[in-house]
Amino acid sequence: RNEPGAADAMRREPIDLHALAVDVAMGWVPNALQRDIDLGFEAQVEQAMIHGDADRLRELINNLIDNAIRYTPRGGIITVRCGETAGRPFLEVEDNGPGIAEEHMEQIFERFYRVPGSPSNGCGLGLPIVKEIAASHGADIKVTRCESGGLRIRLEFPRQIRSG
């Protein structure tokens, strides 16, 4: 469903990214608690409307949170954020895990790529799927290392036209 060119088959409808992100994040709370990870949500707005496919966006958010939980050590912190910057809705997942060295930043979006020495048992498809879904929604992805050493992945969606 998320192969390049699949965007033509997407159902596009108004979606509240904030509500969707809260719903998905709440589903990960039991997994986070099992690992003694503090999974929190911060919202800058009460609503962040975008046009897109809710099922694919749910998969995108699930992949981001799953990765964060996989790589964040016990007792760590993961924060999901949603808001708007200059009229562009955004979604962000930040963790205080080991982060990724600069030389691997571009490669993490390649299929089956795994950072050498990664402690997780993933197969290297989560972030490439995130990239495909983001591209099909016209979203830009920014990956940065946090001051804590962890990783922040931010998706900025196209500016939305407001009625009224």
Highest mean pLDDT among 111-115, 119-123, 146-150: 146-150
In the predicted model, what is the mean pLDDT of the chain?
A: 85
pLDDT for 68-98, tens place per residue? 998 899 999 999 999 999 889 999 999 998 8
- The torsion of the CA quartet 49, 56, 123, 79, rounded to 10 degrees, works out to 20
Q: What's the gap between Cα 118 and its chain centre?
A: 19
pLDDT for 26-74, tens place per residue? 999 999 999 999 999 999 888 899 999 999 999 999 999 999 998 899 9
Task: Tell me how crowded residue 162 is: count the other CB atoms within 10 A of its CB.
Answer: 7
End-to-end CA distance of the chain: 35
| Whole-prediction pTM | 0.85
